[in-house]
Amino acid sequence: MRTEELKHKITFQKLTTSTNENGFEEEVWQDFITCLAKAENLQGREFFAAAAVQAEKTVKFTIRYLSSLTSDMRILFEDKQYNINAIDNIKYKNKYVEIKALEVENSG
């Protein structure tokens, strides 16, 4: 992969607990890291496999390797939110990570 293909800005968010002004704990999404990514729609066999489980809004993101990524994070991309379904360290080389994520409705 060439680095010039990483041209889309995405933000990873973590769900954290904070205390509001009334002293109650609440869960909020907090920005974790922003990076450049290659964003692609699924094609061919991948698309039909996603359609079989009603996951047609799945996007594949490719980024430089980050060891701190977890599947309980979400991605913000072009004013849309994506829940992470799978994280794949490509060929275990710790150079690039492929993430499959499903678009979700705004959840606050």
Q: What is the mean pLDDT of each run of 10 residues along the chain (108 residues)?
A: 88 93 91 96 59 67 95 95 94 94 78
In order of their start, the domains of the chain are 3-104 (2.40.10.270)
Count Cα atoms within 13 angstroms, Cβ side, for 50. 19
The two structure tokens encoding residue 78: 């072009």
Residue 58 confidence (pLDDT): 87
Residue 44 confidence (pLDDT): 52
